Structure formats: structure tokens, C-alpha cells
Amino acid sequence: MSSERVTCIACGACCVTYRVLFLRHELDCAPGGWVPTALTESISDCGVRMRCTEDDPTRCIALQGTLGVDVSCAIYDRRPSPCRAFAPEAGAGTGDAACGDARRLHGLPPLPGSYEGFPLA
């Protein structure tokens, strides 16, 4: 288990806050792709999103567990690029504005190092 996974194990705020949009070449039905196609929805000729990230309330289809208590990603090793790029210092226990905003929105304190981002309403 990676240190990033340990840092985020009880959070999941990003998974219930943000849309997860990415290009089709990441899908496992494409050569070299890895994201399970069955967990996505088409949004254009070249773009897809993780299912349920457009819903209200938002909750990525791959998120398992209870937010802020104990969560995991069912496809962590096969997650799309936006998830891989999100809060790149989380593995070191440091958040960023987007991470801090998502955590605050769901009643969780920001990770150390988070700075004020834009208010989420």
C-alpha cells in the first residue's frame, strides 16, 4: 500500500466533490488503457467521465466505504489521470487548495499545508 493511499484512507472528499473527466485512450478497451470502461460514461467523441461524478450528490462509482471514516478506491491502481494528479503531495501528508476545499465542504479539516482555495458553494 502506497503512502498516498495511507494518507487518504479515511477521506474520500475529492471523490464526492469533483467530476472526473478524462480522455478515452485511458479506457481498458483502448490499446494501453487501464480504467475499467464499465465504470465510465461517454461525454463526447474523445471524452469520458467516471460514473456518478455528475450526480447530485456526487459520489464516484469506484469509491467504497464511509466518507471521513474509512474509504477506498475499488480501482486505485487503475484510476484515471485526474485522480492520479489530484493533490500530488497527499502522499507526504500535504494538501492543496482543491483537496482542502473538498475536505472543508464535507466537514473534514484540511491536510497540513492546504491553503485557501476558492469557496465551494
- 74-108 pLDDT per residue, tens: 999 999 999 999 888 776 777 888 988 999 999 98
Determine the Cα–Cα distance for residues 31 and 62; give it in Å rounded to an integer.
Answer: 22
Predicted TM-score (pTM) above 0.85: no
pLDDT value at residue 5? 44
Write down the mean pLDDT value for the chain.
86
pLDDT value at residue 97? 87
Place 69 in a pLDDT band, splitting at 50, 70 and 90: confident
Place 117 in a pLDDT band, splitting at 50, 70 and 90: low
Contact assessment for residue 98 and residue 108, using Cβ atoms and an 8 Å cutoff: no
Q: For the chain, give every domain's residue range.
A: 3-105
Contact assessment for residue 87 and residue 95, using Cβ atoms and an 8 Å cutoff: yes
User: What's phi and psi for 29, nearest 5 deg?
Assistant: -85, -10
